[in-house]
Amino acid sequence: MASVSIPTERPGGLLRRPSATTGVWSWITTVDHKKIGILYGVTAFFFFIVGGTEALLIRLQLAQPDQAILNPSVFNEIFTMHGITMVFFVVMPLSAAFFNYLLPLMIGARDVAFPRLNAFSYWAFLFAGIFIYSSWFLGGAPNGGWFGYAPNSVVDPTRGMTFYAIGLLIAGIASTVSAVNLAVTIINMRAPGMTLFRMPVFVWMGLVVQLLLAFSLPIITIGLVELLFDRLFGTHFFDPAAGGDPVLWQHLFWLFGHPEVYVLILPAFGIISEILPVFARKPLFGYQFVVFSGIAIGFIGFGVWAHHMFAVGLGPVANTAFAVATMIIAIPTGVKIFNWLGTLWNGDIRFTTAMLFAIGVISMFVIGGLSGVMHAVVPSDYQQTDTYFIVAHFHYVLFGGAILGLFGGMYYWWPKVFGRFLNERWGKVQFWVTLIGFNLAFGPMHILGLQGMPRRIQSYPESLGLTFWNLVSTIGAFTIAVGTLIFLVIAISSFRKPKQMVADPWDARTLEWLTTSPPPVHNFDDIPVVHSLDELWHRKYAETGGGRVVPVPAGGSGDDAHGEDHGDGHAIHLPSPSYFPPLAALGLPVLGYGLIFGLPFVVAGLLIMLVGLYGWVLEPSAE
């Protein structure tokens, strides 16, 4: 039974809420988690193109020995920006796109806990990206690596690392606030009957990710503040001449940085945990174990940070402890992989594009995971660290794991979000081109690293014998670019088709497929009452004792059997759009420019923020 959404509004007044539902203003003032998810996705994909271009430039420079396509100064900026972009402005926001759009739908909610705060997070993220990229035009981009080790990041005379510190602080605020928002949503806004162990794995991974962010971001916040203060105000946090310890930066950075890599991979793990069962036509094998593994990875992830510091000279006790902890964390990861294999076993596998990507994730992550275990063997890591062997490892897990998983998610959920399919035939082409290009680009890096190629070098001499595999790697990188271009064409041309999609095109298992494609602004006409894991599946099919499946007779899947309260056609009140989240967010980069260019901007930034925040507090609301 259709319901009508009515935005709350009080007529008149300075603080009247905006009311646009279409057009640019509707996107700027939206507080709808679905629109915000799309904003994150589009912005992140744009940054993916930019970061990918930076990668292509690096690969061009390194395709042959002793080249000068990029001089050392520019090269340092390019590889730094590539890392920053991919981690903070591509994988994290792409994951945020999926979380924002899908989490409320999967738990049967109408929106997140704090819709305006959600909008604020998106705008703060966007402004952080613009802020950091503006550095190219304002004195030089960050050039100290995405990891920004002190003292190099402190003493560098260009402005780049100041932009780095401030920009990441802004992005950190966006993510911290979003983490609280989404965690509260998952914990507190589940549909009636959805206990924690009836939540989809994607939601569980979402919860673990938000908690990882909430507890790791404060640590790097302090690290970045200390870096900024050393650069701007003459403090001595990392100043060896005054008794400061540059290694403190590394501890603070990696205490964040290691949980961060689980933030980067767990969403993709969640995505494929949803895709595999649907296209294998059987439930996820070992649901509780997959969930517990995710939780275990979250916890242990806080205890392995110094495996990035094995060569720092922390001593054999520390190195031993962190080596063992790192090996331990491989165990829950392996459990997940085995459970995904168990899902495929004895299934009825359909090779949709989404399924191909999901299988690709398993395959590529095994390689990345195994090389990771090799790094945990500390004496070997003394050779591997800071070489292309490490670059190979993390690209296998981040591209082969996270990016492939995110692509899979796009093919899977595109029909839900946009009411059209992405072209399956060309999607498969894109999958193979991307997979082959990826392996060509990063496979040889294992060899290059062991043969003596350090990281972050602008060039290498002919005499080291590194030329052949560098050239292969460059060819691979350009192949990835072709694959990405194919995806762009597929994505854009999908909008040529009319918006004609059923609610559940894939015969799936989770609640987002219960509502229309795309969902109405209020998500569900009636909030579903949940009776089991894979609730949607169990509304469609009943399992007999032997695990055989029979469709539920027609009419049995009607609403009446599930205890939903249809109400009487009463209107659903949704939060109104608002100007103030983007306004408050705008104060942050202005304040940031103030730290670089002077007091007037500081004052302006604070004022904008205060106006934004007070408007937010004072505007009429029914949230």
Partner 1 sequence: MATAEHQVQAPVTDHAATSTGLPNMKLAIWLFLASDCLLFGALISTYVLYRGASIVGPYPADVFDIPYTSVSSFVLLASSLTMVLALASIQRGDPARMRVWLLATAMLGLTFVGGQVYEFTTFAAEGLTLSTNVFSTSFYVLTGFHGAHVTVGILMLLTVVGLSFGGRITQERSETVEIVGLYWHFVDIVWIVIFTVVYLIPTGTPPGA
Partner 2 sequence: MRRRTILVLGLVALAAVAGACAPNATQSALEPKGPYAQKGFDLFVPVFWVATAIFFIVEGVLLFFIIRYRHRKARATMPPQVHGNTKLEIGWTILPTLILAGVAVPTVATIWDLAAEPQGEVLQVTVLAHQWWWEFDYPDQGIITANELHIPTGQPVYLTMCAVGLGYEQQIAPSTCQDQPAAVGDSVIHSFWVPELAGTQDVIPSRTTYLTIQADEPGTYEGQCKEFCGLSHAYMKFKVVAHDPAGFDGWIAEQQAPAAPSPPGDPEAGAGVFLGTCTGCHAIAGLEDPNGNPLIANGGPDLTHFASRDCFAGCMLATTDENLRRWLENPPAVKAGSWMPDYGLSDQELDQLVAFLNALE
Q: Report residue 461 as tokens.
A: 């001499």
Question: With binding defined as CB under 8 A, does residue 318 bind partner 1?
Answer: no
- Cβ distance to partner 2 smaller for residue 171 or 448: 448
Length of the chain: 623
CB 52 within 8 A of CB 435: no
Per partner kind, with CB cut-offs from 5 to 8 A, the member of partner 1, partner 2, none near residue 605 is none
Closest CA to 188 of 256, 64, 103: 103
Provide φ and ψ at 612, rounded to 5°: -60, -45
- Cβ distance to partner 1 smaller for residue 65 or 303: 303
Where does residue 140 fall: left (phi above 0), alpha (psi -120 to 50 degrees), or beta otherwise?
Answer: left
In the stretch 177-206, what mask flags binding to partner 1 with x, by CB under 8 A?
--xxx-xx--xxxx---x------------
CA angle 74, 80, 81 (to 5 degrees): 90
- Cβ distance to partner 1 smaller for residue 94 or 112: 112
Strand partners, 551: 541
Restricting to residues 128-187, which ones interact with partner 1 according to CB under 8 A?
A: 176, 179-181, 183-184, 187
Per partner kind, with CB cut-offs from 5 to 8 A, the member of partner 1, partner 2, none near residue 64 is none
Closest CA to 40 of 124, 151, 114: 124
Q: Report residue 462 as tokens.
A: 């002919």
**Binding segment (CB under 8 A) for partner 1, from list 225-233, 276-284, 427-435, 584-592:** 225-233
Q: What is the nearest approach in angstroms of partner 2 to the Cβ of residue 509? A: 11
Strand partners, 6: 573
- Cβ distance to partner 2 smaller for residue 83 or 605: 83
- Cβ distance to partner 2 smaller for residue 239 or 623: 239
| Three-state DSSP class for residue 620 | coil
Restricting to residues 23-52, which ones interact with partner 1 according to CB under 8 A?
A: none
DSSP 439-477: HHHHHHHHHHHHTT-BTT-S---GGGS-HHHHHHHHHHH
The strand pair at 572-574 and 541-543 is best described as unpaired
Per partner kind, with CB cut-offs from 5 to 8 A, the member of partner 1, partner 2, none near residue 465 is partner 2
DSSP 400-435: IIIIHHHHHHHHHHHHHHHSSPPPHHHHHHHHHHHH
Q: What is the nearest approach in angstroms of partner 2 to the Cβ of residue 532? A: 11
Per partner kind, with CB cut-offs from 5 to 8 A, the member of partner 2, partner 1, none near residue 384 is partner 2
Cα 173 from Cα 168, distance rounded (Å): 9
- Cβ distance to partner 1 smaller for residue 248 or 602: 248
Distances (CA, A) of 290 to 159, 191, 369, 580: 45, 22, 17, 40
CB 577 within 8 A of CB 18: yes
- Cβ distance to partner 2 smaller for residue 328 or 611: 328
For partner 1, which residue of 15, 56, 69, 214 counts as binding (CB under 8 A)?
214
Q: Report how many residues bind partner 1 under the rule CB under 8 A.
A: 40
DSSP 35-61: HHHHHHHHHHHHHHHHHHHHHHHHHHH
Question: With binding defined as CB under 8 A, does residue 617 bind partner 1?
Answer: yes
- Cβ distance to partner 1 smaller for residue 107 or 275: 107
- Cβ distance to partner 1 smaller for residue 25 or 149: 149
- Cβ distance to partner 1 smaller for residue 207 or 445: 207
Burial 481-519 (b: 16+ CB within 10 A, else e): bebbebbeebbeebeeeeeebeebebebbbbbbbbbbbb
Q: What is the nearest approach in angstroms of partner 1 to the Cβ of residue 244? A: 5
Q: What is the nearest approach in angstroms of partner 2 to the Cβ of residue 558? A: 22
Per partner kind, with CB cut-offs from 5 to 8 A, the member of partner 2, partner 1, none near residue 217 is partner 1
Restricting to residues 238-277, which ones interact with partner 1 according to CB under 8 A?
A: 239, 242-245, 248, 252, 255
Q: What is the nearest approach in angstroms of partner 1 to the Cβ of residue 614? A: 8
Question: With binding defined as CB under 8 A, does residue 21 bind partner 1?
Answer: no
Per partner kind, with CB cut-offs from 5 to 8 A, the member of partner 1, partner 2, none near residue 189 is partner 1
Closest CA to 114 of 291, 122, 106: 122
Restricting to residues 68-127, which ones interact with partner 1 according to CB under 8 A?
A: 113-114
Q: What is the nearest approach in angstroms of partner 2 to the Cβ of residue 442? A: 14
Q: What is the nearest approach in angstroms of partner 2 to the Cβ of residue 155? A: 5
Per partner kind, with CB cut-offs from 5 to 8 A, the member of partner 2, partner 1, none near residue 180 is partner 1
- Cβ distance to partner 1 smaller for residue 249 or 357: 249
Q: What is the nearest approach in angstroms of partner 1 to the Cβ of residue 525? A: 16
CB 120 within 8 A of CB 584: yes
Residues that bind partner 1 (CB under 8 A): 113-114, 176, 179-181, 183-184, 187-190, 194, 214-219, 221-223, 225-226, 229, 233-237, 239, 242-245, 248, 252, 255, 614, 617
